[in-house]
Structure 1
Amino acid sequence: MKILNVSNAELEQVAVLFDAYRQFYEQSSDLEAARLFIAMRLEAQDSVIFLAQNETSEALGFVQLYPSFSSVAMKRMWYLNDLYVAENARHQGVARALLKHVETFAKETNALTVKLATAVSNEKAKSLYESEGYAKVTAFDHYTQRVK
């Protein structure tokens, strides 16, 4: 397995995975919108995307990170917003390899933390994250306001 920092050359592979990821979260398939969204992220350079491929360059999974900062610590943070492994590539260590790659990247960019959220019911993901050293945060209440 190899993990690449995504460029326009991998756009189509990531768009297909991103569309499947959205469907996993009960969104309608829209490959063209997925392609456009990822293309916009790459052009604006406002996210970092890593793609896992097998030895024949078949896409296995991806992870997308968004930058943020801690004002208190005055350091960079990364939000691991999206992690998806193709159904035919599951149980092969792809997600774990992507998480390890993210950890290395976070260290290389001198980040304070990598933060993520997952569905309360996603026990498999929570188990994986905890096995990789992620800890559930209970010290803060997080709030969201939907912009109207």
Structure 2
Amino acid sequence: MKKITTRLATMDDIDQLAVMFDAYREFYELAPDLALSRQFILDRMLGCESVLILAVDEEGVAAGFCQLYPTFCSLAAAPIYALYDLYVRPEARKLGAGRALLLAAEAHAMRNGAVRLDLTTAKTNLAAQSLYQALGWQRDDIFFAYSKTLAA
């Protein structure tokens, strides 16, 4: 089994992050658009708007990534992170990359004073749900999530 490690992504990782981000978008049935994916990741990094964590194997090959957005919880009156994107390359699945990314996200959030991590996932993504539950995440059965598209 390959050993997976995690680290904060840098500008040197943009191209491999863009490829994975594009594949992540395709997983959610969006058309491939590598240029859009690259620009989106680049903009987030340049604006210091998100935290990107990269999972790599012992040969330095990217296995996956997660993207966290810092925000706040008004009720807790404290900072939190939204774990919005989590993707593991198909060939790296079952190697512990998803688990490593979630644990790295948790450690990063704690180091930065966050009191909670939030995420949403597709109802059909049972493998991910199983991992979240195994790591102590609790599914919200009280609140409904709503969204409204403002621009096409």
TM bracket, shorter-chain basis? over 0.9
Match status 1:28 vs 2:31: yes
* 1:120 Cα deviation from its structure 2 partner: 0.8
> SS in structure 2 opposite 1:10?
helix
Query: What residue number does 1:140 align with?
Result: 143
Q: Percent identity?
A: 39
Q: Deviations over 1:84-143 (max 9, x none)?
A: 000110110100011111111111111111000011111111111000110011222332
* 1:31 Cα deviation from its structure 2 partner: 0.9
Match status 1:66 vs 2:69: yes
Among candidates 22, 30, 36, match of residue 19 of structure 1: 22
Which amino acid is 2:86 matched to? Answer: L
- Structure 2 stretches of 5 or more lacking a match? none
Query: What residue number does 2:88 align with?
Result: 85
- Structure 1 stretches of 5 or more lacking a match? none
Match status 1:94 vs 2:102: no
| Runs (4+) off by over 6 Å | none
- Paired positions, count: 148
> SS in structure 2 opposite 1:41?
helix
Which amino acid is 1:98 matched to? Answer: L
1:142 & 1:120 partners in 2: Cα distance?
Answer: 12
Among candidates 101, 109, 113, match of residue 110 of structure 1: 113
Query: What residue number does 2:13 align with?
Result: 10
Give the CA RMSD over aligned residues: 1.0
